[in-house]
Structure 1
Amino acid sequence: MTENIIVEDSKKTEARLLTNSKKIILALQHLIAMFGATVLVPILTGFDPSIALFAAGLGTLIFHLCTKGKVPVFLGSSFAFIPVILKVKEIYNGDLAYAQGGIIGAGLIYIIVSFLIKKVGVERIKKYLSPQVIGPMIIVIGLNLIPTAFGMASENFLVAGITLGIALLINFKGKGFIKQLAILIAVFLGYMISLKMGLVDTTVIKEAPLFAVPAFRLPKFDMGAIAIITPVVLAVFMEHLGDITTNGQVVGKNFVEDPGLNRTLLGDGLATTVAALIGGPANTTYGENTGVLAITKNYDPSILRLAAIFAISLGFISKVGTTLNTIPTPVMGGISLMLFSMISLIGIKTIKTNEVKFNLKNMIVMGIILLLGLGSGIIESKFGITIGIPITESVKISGLSFAAIVGIILNAVLNRK
């Protein structure tokens, strides 16, 4: 009798170990899927990759707390904020603390919108953020970033071209999980080629300690920086709605209804606010991890929480952050050309998927957003006409931010019925 109990207990222990082992493997898979994009944003903008990893993990846990642990989502660094972060960085002499202040403003708007949605309902909010407004905004985000990527690639077109070619090859020809790793593999191989060519300084990696507390940094607040960054919320709101809807379709549940869009937005807003408070970039829900869910068919949210704990742990491994900082600029330039082009394609897909009618009113709205978002700088330099809303003597709402405001108002007027 005793022997049977021991054997049964042993089988239960083995089953638990097997389950836990599977969870760890699946969590590592999610970590790999989010890793490339999450560290790419801080590398491009100047934030600390270690803090970005820590903030992504912490933000994911905050999100799961807000959504009652029901939504299998991972939060990572947001690409939509890159152009406005770079703009603020340029205006404030490289001081990213002011960008943090602007990101906190964006996070707080998310939180306010989450309470608004709970009170008035999602449909009333969505009608002001229609696809003919959001699609062109996303296109502007991507196209405005391409010159930056090209400038990075120009430091060594050979390395950039090889990195870009590998990423495109895997993206178009790869299958399953390998396709999910296109960015990571391309950056790794680009790094290895750069290492052989003597483009990488490995001294700093050797000198870096194995473990270290990330250099957390407090934000600084200025109305100019806040005015530049916060309008991006208009674009990322639709990105969030799309990600949550897609995630629900993969899992087979309606997360917009349960736990509710107000809760998912609250989680996203709090995660972004906390990330900026400690010195990291804005967070957003990641489609990469939804892709992993679709491949594995395992929708257990606790696996995403385990991946979040791994991300937090990675933030304290100093050699990881130091190694990431040694990735040559042309490698990141090559991969960025693909990523930023894909952002613009998402904008086009938004217009197509939502079957936007190409009538005169919608054409005017989309054309004005594209003109102001892409051409305001050219118009100012060629004709001396100032386009934007002045905030301070040196700062004004312009480019994407101004285009978004004008587009929403114009669309509300022309399509009021």
Structure 2
Amino acid sequence: MDSNNLSPLRKGVVGIQFLFVAFGATVLVPLLVGLDPSTALFTAGIGTLIFHLVTKGKVPIFLGSSFAFIAPIIKATELYGLPGTLSGMMGVALVYFLMSALVKWQGIRFIDRLFPPIVIGPVIMLIGLSLAGTGVNMAKDNWILALLSLITAILVSIRARGLFKLIPIFCGIIVGYVAALLFFDVDLSGVRDAAWFSLPPFTFPAFSWEPILYMMPVAIAPVIEHIGDVYVVNTVAKKDFVKDPGLHRTLLGDGLACFVAGFLGGPPVTTYSEVTGAMSLTKVTNPQVIRIAAVTAIIFSVIGKVSALLRSIPSAVLGGIMLLLFGTIACAGVTNLINCAVDLSRTRNIIIFSLTLTVGIGGAVLTWGNFSLSGIGLAAIVGVLLNLLLPQEKA
């Protein structure tokens, strides 16, 4: 299908379809970390438009809430409060800016040297494993709803066809929520009281270096995810976006989107492979369609009752979805190692893999004055340093 020749109506319909593919994951992140889902929708839409502006409107990519930052946001909010954490989320953009400059200067080889699969694999695994306990605790509130949501998501992932196969999160939440409305008590007073139209509740950051340094290392995994997704989009669209407009521009656009998201009170954003999958199915790769999805997300964000409805979803429903989702993220880390043929029989690789995982899962904390670093961020730094310092083994 020549997506450039689509009628305006067809572009609009496909754009809305693309948004619904990304909708479940985009609103799930803020619901888990205590941010407002309407703000996340707004910043995802604005961030996507900023990305398209920086990349000259050539790259068909949608930016949505990043799962990599769920655990760090929860912990940073405990340590520094929400305004301080938001400044940390803005600081994530500095990593993207740095990587953009390095790619412009040295090309992609430098990134490959700094972040090889043996570093990225265990870091991605940690994103899922570090959140497993949260999913179980939320599911315990009502195992019936949790299992119903989980089973629905599994069935959609296995049995569904077409675009439905790309929205197991969305389907699981809908089925679980409907069951909660029919058989359990759900507080809908917030939905009744909410205005039909209202701006999202923006929360602005309070500048502090501690949360910025705490959050920045976490950006390593989304940066690598970004690079991989751009290459996948190249394949789907049959164009070379690494050269035109350039990988440095896509990284810069993603970084600016993260900066604006943190400034307005939304979670950091990242490239959404679900939307890339939808493009592959529909054969529609026109960037205009992605921009329509972004504008639609902004429109949804100013409908007050949508935000109130999302906040009324029982935690058990979300917990059931998380049981599958976070395990899937951990599995993606394993898949990365397998696809890149990482040899785990080599002592060097075993050391990097083992220490990265144990530092991240074991709760290691690096403290210096008022500053502390732990979890995924500390594990990522450990992995990068070990990769740079340990001598290469002879084959």
The TM tier, using the shorter chain, reads over 0.9
CA distance in 2, matches of 1:391, 1:213: 40
Match in the other structure for 1:407: 383
1:272-317 deviation line (CA, Å, top 9, x unaligned): 0001101100010100100110010011100101111111111110
Cα separation, partners in 2 of 1:305 and 1:415, compared to 1, 3 Å: farther
Match in the other structure for 1:392: 369
Match in the other structure for 2:75: 87
Identity of aligned residues (%): 43
Match in the other structure for 2:22: 34
Letter in 2 for 1:244: V
Match in the other structure for 1:371: 358
Q: Where do residues 57-206 of structure 1 align in structure 2 (5 Å cutoff)?
A: 57-92=45-80, 95-206=81-192
- Identify which range, 77-86 or 251-260, moves more after superposition: 251-260
Q: Where do residues 343-382 of structure 1 align in structure 2 (5 Å cutoff)?
A: 343-358=329-344, 359-375=346-362, 377=363
1:169-217 deviation line (CA, Å, top 9, x unaligned): 1101111111112211110110010111233111211111100011111
**How many equivalent pairs are there?**
389
Corresponding residue SS for 1:80: helix
Cα separation, partners in 2 of 1:415 and 1:233, compared to 1, 3 Å: farther
Mind listing any 5+ residue stretches in structure 1 that lack a counterpart?
1-15, 378-386
1:7-39 deviation line (CA, Å, top 9, x unaligned): xxxxxxxxx997111011101101101110000
Corresponding residue SS for 1:116: helix
Match in the other structure for 1:235: 221
Corresponding residue SS for 1:96: helix
Would you say the 8 A contact 1:224–1:391 is kept in 2? no
CA distance in 2, matches of 1:150, 1:409: 33
Q: Where do residues 291-370 of structure 1 align in structure 2 (5 Å cutoff)?
A: 291-358=277-344, 359-370=346-357
CA distance in 2, matches of 1:205, 1:178: 27
1:276 to 262, 274, 290: 262
Cα separation, partners in 2 of 1:64 and 1:17, compared to 1, 3 Å: closer
Letter in 2 for 1:238: I
Corresponding residue SS for 1:284: strand
Cα separation, partners in 2 of 1:415 and 1:135, compared to 1, 3 Å: farther
Over the aligned positions, Cα root-mean-square deviation in angstroms equals 1.5
Match in the other structure for 1:12: none
Corresponding residue SS for 1:70: coil
CA distance in 1, matches of 2:113, 2:392: 9
Would you say the 8 A contact 2:102–2:110 is kept in 1? no
CA distance in 2, matches of 1:172, 1:64: 33
Match in the other structure for 1:43: 31
Would you say the 8 A contact 1:49–1:321 is kept in 2? yes
CA distance in 2, matches of 1:207, 1:85: 29
Mind listing any 5+ residue stretches in structure 2 that lack a counterpart?
none
Match in the other structure for 1:380: none
Would you say the 8 A contact 1:224–1:392 is kept in 2? no
CA distance in 1, matches of 2:263, 2:293: 22
CA distance in 2, matches of 1:96, 1:336: 23
Deviation at residue 416 of structure 1 after TM alignment: 5.4
Match in the other structure for 2:230: 244
Would you say the 8 A contact 2:129–2:327 is kept in 1? yes
Match in the other structure for 1:9: none
Match in the other structure for 1:290: 276
Cα separation, partners in 2 of 1:18 and 1:102, compared to 1, 3 Å: closer
Would you say the 8 A contact 1:199–1:328 is kept in 2? no
CA distance in 2, matches of 1:352, 1:221: 41
Tell me which structure has the larger Cα radius of gyration: 1
Letter in 2 for 1:80: A
Cα separation, partners in 2 of 1:18 and 1:265, compared to 1, 3 Å: closer
Q: TM-score, normalised by structure 2?
A: 0.95
